Structure 1
Amino acid sequence: MGVPFEAFIPYAIMLGMFGFSGAALSKLRAMQNGGKRARHSVDTWDRQMMDRDRRLTGFLRGQTDNVRAPAGFELSNPWRIERAFI
């Protein structure tokens, strides 16, 4: 005895919604990363380089090939200075 195709309609709808939501989340993550795919297993070195790239270009994943840093980059030191005890 065959299964009526109407029984598969809810499963097709659910599968379609899972596919759509996965594609939409992937697109949103790519838009947040400047059009690049999301990074996984980011260690301390990668975070430092991504922070440097953000300070240079304004984007977390942006990169530049300029030899000279933009104006104001010398003032954007990521190290925090502790206050002296008075």
Structure 2
Amino acid sequence: MGVPFEALIPYGIMLAFFGVSGAGLSKIKNMQNGGKRPRHSVDQWDRQMMDRDRRLTGYLRGQTDQAVAPAGFELSNGWRVEKRVL
């Protein structure tokens, strides 16, 4: 006696939802990274350069080939400064 196909419908629905959610998460990560693949094992240097790129271009993963920084970049300081206590 075979398995009725009605018993396999819930498994098909679960498989479809796992596929849709995986594709959706992949697309969201891709959009957040400016169309580039997500980065793994990001160290302090990479974070610093990505923050610099964000301040230059407005995107975390954006890069520019301009030799001169845009106007206003001199005021966009990446250093985190503590307040003086006297």
1:67 is paired with a residue of what secondary structure? coil
Q: 1:84: how far off?
A: 3.6
| Paired amino acid for 1:83 | K
The answer as to 2:24 corresponding to 1:6 is no
| Paired amino acid for 2:41 | S
Q: Give the structure 2 partner of residue 73 of structure 1.
A: 73
Structure 2-normalised TM-score? 0.90
5+ residue gaps, structure 1, are none
Q: How does 1:1-86 map to 2 (within 5 A)?
A: 1-86=1-86
CA distance in 1 between counterparts of 2:29 and 2:38 reads 6
Note the alpha carbon deviations across 1:18-62, whole angstroms, 9 max, x for none.
000110011111111111122111110110010010011010000
Identical counterparts, % of pairs: 76
CA distance in 2 between counterparts of 1:40 and 1:17 reads 26
RMSD: 1.3
| Paired amino acid for 1:78 | G
CA distance in 2 between counterparts of 1:82 and 1:14 reads 51
| Mean CA deviation greater in 9-18 or 72-81 | 72-81
Q: State how many pairs are aligned.
A: 86
